[in-house]
Amino acid sequence: MKTTSRKQTIAFAIEYAKTLKLGDIILLAGDLGAGKTTFVQGLAIGLGLDVEVTSPTYAYMHSYADKLYHFDCYRLKSGAEAEILGLTDYFDANGICVLEWAENIAEVLPQNCKKINIQKVDENTREIEVL
Ligand code: ADP
Ligand code: MG
């Protein structure tokens, strides 16, 4: 799926949110500036949450209404570290987890995670792949 504006990516994420069930875990991949946080803003809207989504870089995880859990694993070095911080507990919290840089904690990820890859094509174009 190709989007040509931030708004279109949000619209796509709103639609995608409708396919989710509580307990789902989504691995969201893409380089810096690809649109991962933008995508999560759309997920929040699609889940009916009236919240401002910001990057959880320094907090590791932001919880929105205990329904949407947004992780940034960029600064984690291992799955063990995620466990020590209690982050992995949220996988079983019956919300929807969306993870950026999940590869850093690969050993502790549950099976059957959903995957979204976002690639920057040019300034305003993104290729979004749902796996
Ligand atoms: P990431 O979280 O992957 O680092 P952000 O979502 O924070 O990325 O930033 C994406 C940036 O790219 C925003 O400034 C956004 O306005 C811009 N952008 C331009 N075109 C698009 C598009 N088609 N989809 C998503 N973001 C886009
Ligand atoms: Mg981000």
| Cβ(76)–Cβ(60) below 8 Å | yes
Tens-of-pLDDT digits for all 131 residues of the chain?
A: 999 999 999 999 999 999 999 999 999 999 999 999 999 999 999 999 999 999 887 889 999 999 999 999 999 999 999 999 999 999 999 999 999 999 999 999 999 999 999 999 999 999 999 99
Atom of ligand 1 nearest to the CA of 125: 23
Question: Ligand 1 within 6 A of 46 CB?
Answer: no
Given this model, what pLDDT does residue 56 score? 85
Query: Which ligand number lies closest to the CA of residue 30?
Result: 1
Cα 35 → chain centroid? 10
Cα 101 → chain centroid? 9
User: What's the maximum distance between 2 C-alpha atoms anywhere in the chain?
Assistant: 40
Given this model, what pLDDT does residue 84 score? 97
The H or E element that residue 121 is part of is: strand 114-122
Q: What gap in Å lies between CA 58 and CA 62, rounded to an integer?
A: 10
Global pTM value: 0.96
Given this model, what pLDDT does residue 57 score? 77
Given this model, what pLDDT does residue 101 score? 95
- Contacts of residue 111, defined as CB under 8 A and 6 or more positions apart, other chains included, come to none
Q: 27 in helix, strand or coil?
A: strand
